[in-house]
């Protein structure tokens, strides 16, 4: 009975958040703002949807991939991320990672990796995704270095050499 219940819950999660073939949803960074959704925090402070919420504000990344950092990031993501995110554009529990580094600025990604809860509370795009999957990204308590290594792996996944 326990295995059947577990199977039903897992199946419900996968089918409710699976990528729809006819989906026309656009989760590009400015979509929610362009559709008139206010990008403000509940306390009235301005929220920057291109930077996110957190300590990273202006990151300059090398044009060349740091292979060692990307390899470490792949290992970390294997433990912390891939149970919910695929490396393709297909949604698992959370959205797929393919193309994420072209959709978001590095500071947004770093802020989201290290500070997901305040961003989910304030970012209209993230709130739209939350409505689809009903599962908040958990705070994995990653430090700045680990987040940067994951970002480098995301860049590798997006084809940067």
Please list the residues that pair with 40 across neighbouring strands.
46
pLDDT (tens digit per residue) in 6-60 = 445 444 444 444 444 333 334 444 433 333 333 343 444 688 888 889 999 999 9
CATH number for the domain harbouring residue 101: 1.10.760.10
Domain that holds residue 115: 50-161
Residue 161 pLDDT: 80
Question: Is there a domain that residue 158 lies in?
Answer: yes
Question: Is there a domain that residue 26 lies in?
Answer: no
Residue 45 pLDDT: 61
Question: Is there a domain that residue 42 lies in?
Answer: no
Q: What is the C-alpha separation between 124 and 122, in angstroms, rounded?
A: 6
Q: Could you identify the residue written with the tokens 């219940």? A: 5
* Helix-strand-coil split of the chain, %, nearest 5: 50, 0, 50
pLDDT (tens digit per residue) in 86-113 = 999 999 999 999 999 999 999 999 999 9
3-state secondary structure of 98: coil
Question: Is there a domain that residue 39 lies in?
Answer: no
Total domains in the fold of the chain: 1
Q: Yes or no: say if 142 and 113 are a contact pair by the CB < 8 Å rule.
A: yes
pLDDT (tens digit per residue) in 51-90 = 889 999 999 999 999 999 999 999 999 999 999 999 999 9
How confident is the model over 135-142, as a mean pLDDT? 95
Question: Is there a domain that residue 71 lies in?
Answer: yes
Higher pLDDT, 52 or 146: 146
Question: In terms of DSSP H, where are the helices of 100-143?
Answer: 100-103, 106-114, 116-122, 124-133
Q: Could you identify the residue written with the tokens 């929220």? A: 47
Entry pTM: 0.72
DSSP code, position 44 = S
Taking only Cα atoms into account, the Rg of the chain, rounded to an integer number of angstroms, comes to: 16
Question: Is there a domain that residue 80 lies in?
Answer: yes
pLDDT band at 3 (very low <50, low <70, confident <90, very high): low
Question: Is there a domain that residue 30 lies in?
Answer: no
Question: Is there a domain that residue 17 lies in?
Answer: no
CB environment 119-134: b (16+ within 10 A), e (fewer): bbebbbbbebbbeebe
Residue 21 pLDDT: 38
Residue 43 pLDDT: 45
């Amino acid at each position: 009975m326990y295995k059947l219940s577990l199977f039903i819950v897992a199946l419900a999660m996968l089918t409710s958040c699976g990528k729809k073939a006819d989906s026309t949803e656009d989760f590009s960074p400015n979509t929610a703002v362009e559709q008139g959704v206010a990008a403000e925090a509940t306390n009235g402070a301005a929220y920057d949807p291109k930077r996110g919420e957190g300590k990273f504000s202006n990151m300059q990344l090398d044009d060349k991939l740091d292979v060692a950092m990307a390899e470490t990031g792949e290992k970390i993501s294997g433990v912390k991320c891939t149970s919910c995110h695929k490396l393709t554009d297909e949604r698992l529990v959370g959205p797929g990672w393919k193309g994420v580094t072209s959709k978001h600025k590095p500071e947004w990604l770093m802020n989201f990796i290290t500070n997901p809860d305040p961003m989910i509370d304030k970012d209209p795009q993230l709130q739209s995704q939350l409505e689809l999957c009903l599962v908040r990204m958990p705070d994995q308590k990653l430090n700045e270095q680990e987040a940067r290594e994951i970002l480098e792996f995301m860049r590798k996944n997006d084809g940067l050499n």
